[in-house]
Amino acid sequence: MSLTERLGGPAARGALPGTGGPGGGAREAMARYATLPLRLFLGLTFLYAGIDKFTDAGPFSAAMSTDAMEGMLTATRDEAAAGWLAGLALDHPALFTGGIAVAELAVGAGVLLGVVTRLAAAGGALLSLSFWLTVSWPAEPYYLGQDLPYLLGFATLALAGGGPFSLGRVLTARRAQRSGRLFA
């Protein structure tokens, strides 16, 4: 008998909640898939935002240059929490627009596919935080700022990970299988 069983711990009472053991059910399945809608929404949204910046129809495309970004930052720089960041972006608009587009593509693909989800979500949270501290900060009341919910959504994924239907989980399981380990 294990020490955990002697003390009446989880091993003595059966499977832990959320492990998918016997006695699971609808509630267990819902908990397992809870982050999937968030992953799909954030992944598709950021992937689309990154692609949009490289297409002619997008607001930051070559056809419209960086005027949209510069207009937003100029309008909010004096009231922004991180006005210095807005100023830096205004000094180098093409670099920032291109960098943000590439970062959005990486974050969107990572979160959507579930590859290095926590790292991609941390990157998305950092992007959303920078948007919130520059462009969305002056929104009154604060909950009308569009970047704060993205920040919290990405923070949730950074904590929870990719969950089911993630390519990262499949790759980790295959790597574990090849190495002969019992647990991934």
Q: What are phi and psi of 115, to 5 degrees?
A: -105, 125
Average pLDDT over residues 98-115: 94
Distances (CA, A) of 24 to 13, 149, 172: 14, 31, 24
Query: Within its chain, how far is the Cα of 163 from the centroid?
Result: 13
* Lowest-confidence pick of 34-48, 58-72, 103-117: 58-72
Residue 7 has pLDDT above 80, yes or no: no
Spatial separation of the C-alpha atoms in residues 157 and 29, rounded to whole Å: 18
* Lowest-confidence pick of 24-28, 62-66, 130-134, 138-142: 62-66
In this prediction, residue 70 carries a pLDDT of 86
Pick the closest to residue 50 from 40, 149, 42, 38 (CA basis): 42
In this prediction, residue 64 carries a pLDDT of 47
Looking up tokens 């909950």 gives 143
Residue 12 has pLDDT above 90, yes or no: no
Distances (CA, A) of 34 to 13, 67, 161: 25, 39, 11
Average pLDDT over the chain reads 83
Place 59 in a pLDDT band, splitting at 50, 70 and 90: low
pTM (two decimals)? 0.77
pLDDT in tens, 114-143: 999 999 999 999 999 999 999 999 888 888
Cα-based angle 171, 174, 178 (whole degrees, multiple of 5): 140
Place 61 in a pLDDT band, splitting at 50, 70 and 90: low
Pick the closest to residue 73 from 84, 62, 65, 64 (CA basis): 84
pLDDT in tens, 145-164: 889 999 999 999 999 998 88
Domain parsing of the chain, residue ranges:
36-161
In this prediction, residue 175 carries a pLDDT of 82
Average pLDDT over residues 101-115: 95
Whether the CB-CB separation of 113 and 43 falls below 8 Å is answered with: yes
Average pLDDT over residues 56-61: 60
Segment of 16-20, 31-35, 155-159, 167-171 carrying the highest mean pLDDT: 155-159
